[in-house]
Chains A and B, each alone.
Chain A
Amino acid sequence: MTSKRFFAGFLLVSLILAGVVSYYASSNPDGLEKVASDKGISAKEKNHSLKDSPFGDYGVKGIDNARLSGGLSGLIGVGVVLLVGGGLFWGVRRRGSAGADPAAEQDEKVPSETSRKA
């Protein structure tokens, strides 16, 4: 499988999970929420300061259909995380030039890779 095809498939799976499957997720409290309400921790909970933001609580404000609202917010989330994360990782990544990075030379695997490229 080519990298391009693999990456496209991986993204498609994420989009389907967030956009479609998420509608069928359990709406029960998660482990922490359950323990917090059982043991009296939740009494001190404060509302989220961005509670009324456009995508607050995994919905899109103004869309009443739960399936559409939740699914759309999931798709937007996948897109935003991909852009922010991908941008960060692309910026941080090791560039091709051999031996340019002193930190990379300390890694025993890297010199062989760079020398192979050179």
Chain B
Amino acid sequence: MHVPDGFIDAPVSIAAGAVAVAGVGIALRGARRELDDRTAPLAGLTAAFVFAAQMLNFPVASGTSGHLLGGTLAAILVGPYTGILCVSVVLLMQALLFADGGLTALGVNVTTMALTTVVVGYGLFRLLLRVLPKTRASVSGASFVAAVVSVPAAAVVFTLIYALGGTADVSIGKVAAAMIGVHVLIGIGEALITAVTVSSVLAVRPDLVYGARGLLKPLELRKAEQNTAEPRPSRA
């Protein structure tokens, strides 16, 4: 979903650049609370994994492919602020080293693929966990649904940016329909990769999954409650 140079006019590219800079700035401040000696290496490895997974285009429909965006995955593994930084680092390196995603479109690409996917994907993930039972299966299921939705959400934001600053004279309604349609399919691939990766990390090191932390703490609390409750019946 990397936007090349020339799709978006200069004013809107600059505006998207400003949004991206502001978003990354907020993420840099917020990431400080998410990162420590143990999670900082994990975050670096998560960014590397997102880069690797983005190389793996999978077929979605006749003559069309898609690849992981990774915002939802990174946010669940290492936290939303750090997740934005992970995807942004990947996008920056792709644009600078691999000529993937235009340099003038970097702001657009960070806005759609880093900011949008994390805000929508991680926001939905937290909402779902609020109503679902506190189990590992819920974390995996919520990561799946959140990842599915995050991809068409990025497509919608691209279409909105295109409506504001698109360089070709095309029907925005048709672009929106086509973009959302194909990205719902790509979202299913995104969801499979996200859920499998989150589940795999949960299976071996659940303590390292940022999005599952609230889930593990109540378990510890309940244990403590049982311990304090036990002496009472024996006293009676």
Residues in B with CB closer than 8 Å to A110 are 33
The answer to the question of A69 belonging to the interface, with a C-beta cut-off of 8 Å to chain B, is: no
Inter-subunit contact A34/B52 (CB<8 Å) = no
The answer to the question of B102 belonging to the interface, with a C-beta cut-off of 8 Å to chain A, is: yes
Shortest Cβ gap from B115 to chain A (Å): 17
Inter-subunit contact A28/B63 (CB<8 Å) = yes
Residues in B with CB closer than 8 Å to A73 are 98
Residues in A with CB closer than 8 Å to B92 are 84
Docked pose: A3 CA to B37 CA in angstroms: 12
Inter-subunit contact A82/B47 (CB<8 Å) = yes
Inter-subunit contact A89/B44 (CB<8 Å) = yes
Interface size for chain B: under 10, 10 to 19, 20 to 34, or 35 or more residues?
35 or more
Inter-subunit contact A14/B48 (CB<8 Å) = yes
Which of B65, B99, B183 has the most chain A CB within a 10 Å cutoff? B99
Residues in A with CB closer than 8 Å to B32 are 92-94, 101, 103-104
Inter-subunit contact B96/A49 (CB<8 Å) = no
Inter-subunit contact A45/B175 (CB<8 Å) = no
Residue among A32, A41, A90, A96 making CB contact with B166, cutoff 8 Å? A41
Residues in A with CB closer than 8 Å to B82 are 89
Secondary structure at the A interface, as helix, strand, loop or mixed, is: helix
In B144-178, the 8 Å CB interface with A consists of 155, 158, 162, 166-168, 170-171, 174-175, 178
Which candidate, B2-10, B116-124, B135-143, is the interface stretch facing chain A?
A: B2-10
Residues in B with CB closer than 8 Å to A17 are 49, 52-53, 55-56
Residues in A with CB closer than 8 Å to B40 are 86, 89-90, 92-93
Inter-subunit contact A51/B59 (CB<8 Å) = no
The answer to the question of A46 belonging to the interface, with a C-beta cut-off of 8 Å to chain B, is: yes
Which candidate, B14-22, B83-91, B126-134, B222-230, is the interface stretch facing chain A?
A: B83-91
Residue among A31, A53, A88, A101 making CB contact with B179, cutoff 8 Å? A31
Inter-subunit contact A81/B89 (CB<8 Å) = yes
Docked pose: A85 CA to B47 CA in angstroms: 7
Inter-subunit contact A96/B37 (CB<8 Å) = yes
Contacts A7-B42, A53-B99, A56-B99; A93 near B36 (Cβ below 8 A): yes
Inter-subunit contact B93/A77 (CB<8 Å) = yes
Docked pose: A3 CA to B227 CA in angstroms: 30
Inter-subunit contact A53/B97 (CB<8 Å) = yes
Inter-subunit contact B47/A57 (CB<8 Å) = no
Inter-subunit contact A57/B65 (CB<8 Å) = no
Docked pose: A21 CA to B57 CA in angstroms: 10
Inter-subunit contact B67/A15 (CB<8 Å) = no
Inter-subunit contact B205/A30 (CB<8 Å) = no
Shortest Cβ gap from B28 to chain A (Å): 6
Residues in A with CB closer than 8 Å to B107 are none
7 closest pairs, A vs B, by CB? A86-B44, A85-B47, A46-B6, A18-B52, A26-B65, A93-B35, A17-B52
* Interface pairs (27), CB distance under 8 Å: A10-B49, A18-B55, A25-B65, A28-B63, A28-B65, A29-B63, A31-B60, A31-B179, A31-B185, A35-B179, A41-B170, A44-B7, A49-B5, A50-B99, A55-B98, A58-B100, A82-B45, A84-B92, A85-B85, A86-B41, A87-B44, A88-B85, A89-B39, A89-B85, A93-B36, A94-B35, A103-B32
